[in-house]
Structure 1
Amino acid sequence: MNEERYAGLVMLKESITVESPNRTFIEGTLSGALHEVVNEGSFVFLQRAVNYLENLQEDDENLVNMEKHNQEMLKKIQKVIAEEKMTSERILQEKSDLICKIKDEINDEKEIEKVIKNYVKHWEKSTQEQLLMRLSNGLNDQNEKLKRLARDLEDEETTNESLTKYLTLACNDLTEQIARWKEQYERDLEAIEATIADLKAAKEVQSKTYRELEKEFNLRQGEMDEFLAMKAERKRREAHEKFEHDCAVRLQAWWRGLMVRRCLGQFRRRKKAAGGKESAKQKKGKGK
């Protein structure tokens, strides 16, 4: 087995060309492997070299994949940069348009301000003229009011004098009337006091008479109570007698009715006579 592996390594070494890029690495590896096979009879060195080559190959593949990934990321970044460039250009255009619009608005505002200044200038002039006219008219109105107030003041002074005279006369008349009413009040007060005294005396007399009558009433109250009790007892007795009389009449009527229906006592003959008349009528009926 080892001889076969050794023969294979010799053939592999002979097949390596000078143009191979990894010739030195491969020659060193094969020399170490041949030496290990001849001396120790193992392939540990060769296995390590193979593992190293596999790791190198795996690293190369990772580098290739990373390169592809970097290329894709580069494309995406270039795309994003292009989009950002287009967005920036669009925003820049919008800002430029906005600046132009603002410039136009500023120019319009300047024109409007000029128009307003002209308007204000003419408006102030017309306002001053209107104020002067209003002041002139107001001054005329005030003069008219002053004249009218002067006339009203004269009328009020005349009226005030007349009222003062009238009120003076009225006060004098009221003073005289108050004096007369005071005298009348004193006379009426004396008369009323005399009347009150007479009424008090009459009230005392009436009170005395009332007390006497009350005493007399209290004395006669017992007799009146006895009389009323006797009167009530008499009414009760009369009612009872009337009740007994009505009951006796009903009993007598019931008894008489019973005697008539049963032909008792004095009503017996009448029954026989009534029976004879009936028999005679029956005979007459048979004869017919």
Structure 2
Amino acid sequence: MAAHISGIELLRVSSILQDCCDQLAVLGHIMPDTDKRRAEADMPNKMKYVSCCRQFLAQVKSDTLAELQEKGTFQSLWQALEEEKKRKANLQDIIIREEEGCLRAKALQRQLLDIRKEKTCEARNEMTAHLKDQLQEMKVKTSLERKYVKSCAELLVYQGQKLNTRQEKQLEDEIKMLEGKLEEERRVHKEMESFLKEHQTVKVKLEYWVERYEKDMEDKQQELNALRTNKNNNLAQLQDLAKKVESKQVIIEDRLVKDNLRRQLERAQLERNAAIKIQSWWRGTVVRKCLGPYKKAKKPKSKERKKGKKK
């Protein structure tokens, strides 16, 4: 049944519900967070119950306040109460069934203990027979293993003896071979001693020639040093002469250049003087012989003389 509230009553109820929601929110901030698993594991049962109730009331009041502000009704409050009643009834049924299950489990445990007591003797007899069978199997298995180990040991001993015999033979052969080599070394040593005794003079001659060689090498080294000194001196003198020759060559080349230049200048001067003389002679010749611009003009003859001559 939906009841409608309006006017001042709506404001009062809304303010009361809002105040309750605020107080529950403050309580939620003070209390630990029950949504975390670790907090739920550490929190006592009473605190869990209080936290669940607080969350339920806060949700119901928030929904009711929203419904009052929108529609002016509080139908959600009735629905929440009915659902909570049903949930508690279901929880009560579950608790009753759990208690009945516990009682039944205890009865079954008693029956199981009685059955176990009856079957204990039979189980012991069966276990004894089983252990005897296992003991017999172990004896047979141990006997077989002992025989196998014994045969393996005998085989290893036989193989070891055979291997030792072969190694002994190899060692004897090596001893004989080494004795033969030792005898050969002794013979060679004696021959070397006799050879050295017979050729002792070779050693004396060798020492003499070594000393002679060293002395000759010293003399030749001194001669070589003297030759190197003379070579260095001659090289220095040659370098000085080369420098002098080079300087003289430069002087000679300079003189040759100057002489050539002087000859060219003298030749040019001679050519210039000869040209002047030739020009003077030519001018004199032209003037004397009245050639060119100095040629004399011819005088005109009178007509009478021409006529008289014609007659």
Same fold (TM over 0.5): no
TM (norm. structure 2) is 0.39
Task: Return the structure number with greater relative CO, CA threshold 8 A, min gap 6.
Answer: 2
Q: Quick check: which has more Rg, 1 or 2?
A: 1
TM (norm. structure 1) is 0.41
